[in-house]
Amino acid sequence: MLELEDILNNITEMLQTLSEILQTEQQILIDNKLINQLADIIDRKSQLLIELKLLDEKRVKLSQQLNIQPPYNENPTVAAQWQSITDTTKLLANINRDNGLIIENRMNMTEQSINYLKNLNNPAVYTNNGYQQTEVISSKRAKV
C-alpha cells in the first residue's frame, strides 16, 4: 500500500507542475510579449503528460495486484489522495479547455486578418459584362 501512496504522491506533484505549466501557457497566450516561449511550454506539457500517463499505468497495475480500485475507500489516506487528484485533474482540464479556446479565437482572428489582407492585395476586377474576374489576363503578348 505504501508503493501506491508513493505513486499517488508523485502524481500529485506532477499535477502541480502541470498546473504551473498550464497557467504559464495561458499567460503567454494572453500576453503576446512572450509568445516565442510557447513552443517550449508545449513541449514541457507534452513530456509531463507522457510521464503522467506512464505513472498512472503503474498505479492501475499496482491497484490490480492489490485487488483495490479507486476511490480506494479501504484506506482513508489513499482515498483522500485520490480525491485530491481527481479534483485537481478536473480543474486542470478546465484550464486546458480555456487555453484551447484562446488558441481557437486567436486562429480565427488570424484567419480573418489574412483574408482581409488578401482582399487588399487582390482587388476585384470586373469584366465588361459586370462579372467579377478573379485574375487579370493580359491581352498583350511580349515580342521577342
Report yes or no on 137 lying in a domain: no
Q: How many domains does the chain have?
A: 1
| Domain enclosing residue 101, as ranges | 2-124
Report yes or no on 140 lying in a domain: no
Report yes or no on 59 lying in a domain: yes
- CA separation for the pair 61, 55 (Å, rounded): 10
Average pLDDT over residues 48-77: 96
Report yes or no on 135 lying in a domain: no
User: Tens digits of per-residue pLDDT, 72-97?
Assistant: 999 999 999 999 999 999 999 999 99
Could you report how far apart the first and last alpha carbons of the chain are, in Å? 88
Please tell me the pTM assigned to this model: 0.77
For 53, 81, 88, 131, the CA distances from 71, given in Å and listed in that order, are: 18, 9, 15, 68
Under a CB-based contact definition with an 8 Å cutoff, are residues 25 and 38 in contact? Answer: yes
pLDDT for 144 equals: 46
Residues of the chain above pLDDT 90, percent: 70
